[in-house]
């Protein structure tokens, strides 16, 4: 989905050896090259199987969710058949007519193919055949797509990525009507359409295909799936292992600043290997995982069916199925994915790719009954063997709630490049990011977090600056504000030092580093903690952030405790924003609103923030309450008299109104070396505009104090309005669960084992 407006292919491709056509079979890479012999000649075999179709037909009419899904697809496709086939000459960018039509066609073809198999009605096969023949006729005449913005132009679409999408779906359709066609028809399609199509997106477009990247995954799956249907071992191998003999310049970059192919890896297996951590976390984050998920799983399903000996679902200790569990856990209470890195808000597990994921995970995994409850919410299933399994599970009342608990997901191929920790208690969810750069879609947001209550954002992550597929906004592609705002550090709920983004906003540098987990603790249901360290974002400055969700009896709901300990060799300015929503309710400090609004700075995202008000902080605690969607929130933060508070709003230097006018409060601490930011965010009470009553609209905290802050320990005292005091101590150095700690603070002894103390 990356756009590359000004892509200049600066570095020559090294050694694009066009010998693949002539290479010998025994020369294919990997150990599975002999599997060709096992390819089944029965059709369908790819996603639907002959046996599966038989089972489905037997159950039809008695499996409500499947029957309904089938009926919906039938109505949709019958309407399409009635409307007639349209295969226009490619012309437009995303959102334009020809783009939308070809996109629609791939969906329609796949579904019509399935209907033919399940309903055994030739009108669907005829329809698929007719449309494929029109594509055959068109495709052989096509030059590159006329729009030039992509770094890898397709033929049907402006980018190879969309061509690959098309082939992933259409190979399924072809499989479904394979036996309906004569050999002559098949040859025609394969020679004039499918083979050249697969070659264009791979051999002709190595900068797209020969990478570890979500784009390449689609390319690999497309080539592999049509290869499985056509029983073309060469294509299958090209899918699994990449284009033989092609190595890209390891220093070349795409337009997002991502390396084209840093270490020369390529192919479907490498694409599984690299981006997924052993916990199943996908390095670009959940939004792109959702997008990448479909080709991963649908090709895996095809491989499982056609080449079971590959044991694809067991590859890398079953990481594909693990990744589905990770992805589901990366969603809020409404099933919406946390918008880590470039992520469009609102994307959720109701997306069709997740129907695929959930059904496949259930069928090919361990039949987790929790997945059935999500499938039930999705209210649709795949029209294949896995969908049948889910439908039968639901029919037989096997579902249980899918419980999302606190979870720590490591990042990096080996799970050693930081990660994402999610703390959950009751309706509160904290998402803490201490991961690696996240590929070209990564943001400069080390140790950033976002906070949710019941699926509503309390402290937001901005997400991406893009209106995906809305043509009026930059053609539906990434907007320049994605780079100038959304990726910058100040756009995130973490520390910006000296108004400069982490790694000076440079992808090359960011890609070399990752944060490190200090500890994660979720054993105590009432005290969930994640702590991580970042030492590279600002050379010479070390940031250790410890975040906790704590449930305590004086508080209505679990609250968030945040301790950001900064150790630096030099005196710096630290900016610490809180991207809240809603309206200012109350502060315990005086602020002055601005007569005219000016930008906070000139670069690194600061140019996009208007300053609405400024304040001098209090000497002990600064408190800020706000009201959003009839709920109350209070930030209590430890400040000193030299601290400033800024009320800002996004939207400066935004000539096309591309940014949302969202507010923030920024705590600014100047000319400071070592310092520790300590804050609590409470969500509390409610307001009813119907009864006009405000419940629990005030903070429960009377005082928040740092009572000790050394290299080894940071100790916080939280005193409530009921005059109860709780002490939280976090160990700042490496420790084990068994290590005993004993310290004296204000003449009182504290003793405990492990990373933290709370009492």
Residues with catalytic roles: 288, 441
Check residue 83 for interaction with a copy of itself (CB under 8 A). no
* Cα–Cα–Cα angle for 113, 174, 76, rounded to 5 degrees: 25
* Cα–Cα–Cα angle for 178, 184, 187, rounded to 5 degrees: 70
Tokens (6 digits) for 501: 């983004």
Sorted by sequence, the CB contacts under 8 Å of residue 230 that are 6+ apart come out as 190, 194, 195
Residue nearer to a copy of itself on the CB measure, 11 or 581: 581
CA 342 – CA 463 distance, rounded (Å): 6
In angstroms, the Cα distances linking 360 to 324, 387, 404, 427 are: 9, 8, 20, 29
Strand 583-587 and strand 621-628: the pairing is antiparallel
CA 715 – CA 693 distance, rounded (Å): 38
> Which of 280, 286, 438, 663 forms a contact with a copy of itself (CB under 8 A)?
663
Check residue 101 for interaction with a copy of itself (CB under 8 A). no
Residue nearer to a copy of itself on the CB measure, 597 or 727: 597
Residue nearer to a copy of itself on the CB measure, 607 or 719: 607
> Which of 142, 509, 585, 727 forms a contact with a copy of itself (CB under 8 A)?
585
Check residue 346 for interaction with a copy of itself (CB under 8 A). yes
φ and ψ at 741, to 5 degrees?
-120, 145
Residue nearer to a copy of itself on the CB measure, 138 or 584: 584
Using a 10 angstrom Cβ sphere, with 0-12 exposed, 13-18 middle and 19 or more buried, the burial of residue 326 is buried
Check residue 627 for interaction with a copy of itself (CB under 8 A). yes
What residue ranges in 398-557 does DSSP mark as E strands?
407-410, 419-425, 428-434, 448-453, 456-459, 496-497, 516-521, 527-534, 541-550
Residue nearer to a copy of itself on the CB measure, 151 or 647: 647
Tokens (6 digits) for 342: 């470039």
CA 300 – CA 176 distance, rounded (Å): 18
> Which of 188, 398, 454, 660 forms a contact with a copy of itself (CB under 8 A)?
660
In angstroms, the Cα distances linking 712 to 384, 569, 735, 745 are: 57, 18, 10, 13
> Which of 148, 250, 352, 753 forms a contact with a copy of itself (CB under 8 A)?
352
Q: Mask: binding to a copy of itself, 174-213, rule CB under 8 A, as x and -?
A: ----------------------------------------
Distance of CA 389 to the CA centre of its chain: 27
What is the strand order of the sheet 456-459 is part of? 407-410, 419-425, 428-434, 448-453, 456-459
Residue nearer to a copy of itself on the CB measure, 132 or 600: 600
Tell the smallest beta-carbon distance from residue 353 to a copy of itself (Å): 10
Check residue 692 for interaction with a copy of itself (CB under 8 A). yes
Stretch near a copy of itself under the rule CB under 8 A, chosen from 242-250, 311-319, 582-590, 740-748: 582-590
Check residue 691 for interaction with a copy of itself (CB under 8 A). yes
Tell the smallest beta-carbon distance from residue 266 to a copy of itself (Å): 27
Tokens (6 digits) for 193: 């359409």
Check residue 350 for interaction with a copy of itself (CB under 8 A). yes
| Binding residues for a copy of itself restricted to 600-619, rule: CB under 8 A | 610, 612-613
Residue nearer to a copy of itself on the CB measure, 551 or 660: 660
> Which of 60, 597, 706, 727 forms a contact with a copy of itself (CB under 8 A)?
597
φ and ψ at 402, to 5 degrees?
-85, 105
Tokens (6 digits) for 751: 């003793």
Check residue 347 for interaction with a copy of itself (CB under 8 A). yes
Check residue 689 for interaction with a copy of itself (CB under 8 A). yes
Check residue 376 for interaction with a copy of itself (CB under 8 A). no
Check residue 649 for interaction with a copy of itself (CB under 8 A). yes
User: Would you call 529 helix, strand, or coil by DSSP?
Assistant: strand
Tell the smallest beta-carbon distance from residue 329 to a copy of itself (Å): 19
Check residue 471 for interaction with a copy of itself (CB under 8 A). yes
Check residue 693 for interaction with a copy of itself (CB under 8 A). yes
Residues that bind a copy of itself (CB under 8 A): 95, 344-348, 350-352, 467-473, 476, 583-586, 592-593, 595-599, 610, 612-613, 625, 627, 630, 647, 649, 651-657, 660-661, 663, 687, 689-694, 697
């Amino acid at each position: 989905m990356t756009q590359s407006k000004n892509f200049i292919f600066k570095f020559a491709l090294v050694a694009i050896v066009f010998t693949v056509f002539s290479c010998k079979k025994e020369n294919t890479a990997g150990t599975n090259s002999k599997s060709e012999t096992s390819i089944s000649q029965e059709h369908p075999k790819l996603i639907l199987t002959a046996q599966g179709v038989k089972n489905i037909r037997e159950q039809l009419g008695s499996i409500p969710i499947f029957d309904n899904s089938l009926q919906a697809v039938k109505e949709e496709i019958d309407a399409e058949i009635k409307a007639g086939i349209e295969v226009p000459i490619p012309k437009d960018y995303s959102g334009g007519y020809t783009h939308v039509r070809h996109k629609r066609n791939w969906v329609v073809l796949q579904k019509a193919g399935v209907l033919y198999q399940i309903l055994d009605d030739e009108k669907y096969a005829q329809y698929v055949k007719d449309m494929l023949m029109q594509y055959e006729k068109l495709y052989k005449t096509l030059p590159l797509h006329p729009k030039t913005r992509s770094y890898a132009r397709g033929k049907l679409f402006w980018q190879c990525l969309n061509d690959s999408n098309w082939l992933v779906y259409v190979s399924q359709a072809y499989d479904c009507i394979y036996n309906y066609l004569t050999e002559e028809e098949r040859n025609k399609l394969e020679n004039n359409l499918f083979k050249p199509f697969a070659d264009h997106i791979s051999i002709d477009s190595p900068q797209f295909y020969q990478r570890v990247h979500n784009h390449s995954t689609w390319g690999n799956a497309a080539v592999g799936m049509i290869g499985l249907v056509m029983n073309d071992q060469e294509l299958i191998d090209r899918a699994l292992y990449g284009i033989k003999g092609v190595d890209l310049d390891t220093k070349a970059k795409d337009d997002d600043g991502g390396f084209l192919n840093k270490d020369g890896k390529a192919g479907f297996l490498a694409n599984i290997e690299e981006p997924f951590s052993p916990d199943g976390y996908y390095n670009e984050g959940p939004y792109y995982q959702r997008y990448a998920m479909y080709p991963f799983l649908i090709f895996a399903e095809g491989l499982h069916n056609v080449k079971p000996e590959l044991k694809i679902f067991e590859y890398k200790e079953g990481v594909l199925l693990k990744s589905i569990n990770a992805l589901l856990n990366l969603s809020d209470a409404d099933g919406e994915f946390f918008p880590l890195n470039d992520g469009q808000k609102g994307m959720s597990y109701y997306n069709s790719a997740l129907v695929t994921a959930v059904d496949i995970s259930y069928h090919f995994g361990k039949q987790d009954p929790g997945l059935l409850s999500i499938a039930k919410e999705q209210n649709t299933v795949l029209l294949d063997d896995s969908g049948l399994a889910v439908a039968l599970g639901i029919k037989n009342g096997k579902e249980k709630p899918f419980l999302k608990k606190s979870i720590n997901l490591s990042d990096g191929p080996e799970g050693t490049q930081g990660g994402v920790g999610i703390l959950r208690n009751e309706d509160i969810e904290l998402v803490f990011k201490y991961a690696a750069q996240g590929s070209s879609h990564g943001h400069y947001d080390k140790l950033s977090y976002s906070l949710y209550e019941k699926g509503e954002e309390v402290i937001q992550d901005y997400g991406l600056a893009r209106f995906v597929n809305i043509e009026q906004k930059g053609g539906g592609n990434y907007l320049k504000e994605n780079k100038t705002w959304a990726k910058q550090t100040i756009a995130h709920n973490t520390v910006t030092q000296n108004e400069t983004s982490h790694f000076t906003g440079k992808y090359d540098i960011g890609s070399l580093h990752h944060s490190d987990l200090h500890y994660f603790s979720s054993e105590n249901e009432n005290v969930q903690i994640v702590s991580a360290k970042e030492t590279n974002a600002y050379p010479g400055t070390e940031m250790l952030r410890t975040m906790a969700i704590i449930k305590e009896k004086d508080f209505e709901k679990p609250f968030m405790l945040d301790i950001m300990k900064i150790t630096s060799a030099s005196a710096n300015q630290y900016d610490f924003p809180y991207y809240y929503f809603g309206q200012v309710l109350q502060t315990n400090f005086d602020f002055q609103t601005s007569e005219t609004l000016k930008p906070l700075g000139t670069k690194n995202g600061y140019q996009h923030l208007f300053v609405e008000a400024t304040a001098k902080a209090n000497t002990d605690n600064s408190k800020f309450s706000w009201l959003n969607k009839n709920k109350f929130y209070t930030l209590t933060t430890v400040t000193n008299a030299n601290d400033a508070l800024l009320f800002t709003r996004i939207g400066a230097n935004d000539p096309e109104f591309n940014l949302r006018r969202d507010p923030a409060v920024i705590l600014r601490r100047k000319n400071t070396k070592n310092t520790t930011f300590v804050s609590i965010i409470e969500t509390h009470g409610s307001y009813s505009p119907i009864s006009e009553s405000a419940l629990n609209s005030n903070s429960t905290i009377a005082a928040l104090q740092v009572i000790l802050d050394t290299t080894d320990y940071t100790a916080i005292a939280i005193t409530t309005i009921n005059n109860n005091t709780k002490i939280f101590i976090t160990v700042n150095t490496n420790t084990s669960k068994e290590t005993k700690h004993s310290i004296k603070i204000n003449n009182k002894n504290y003793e405990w084992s492990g990373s933290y103390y709370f009492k």
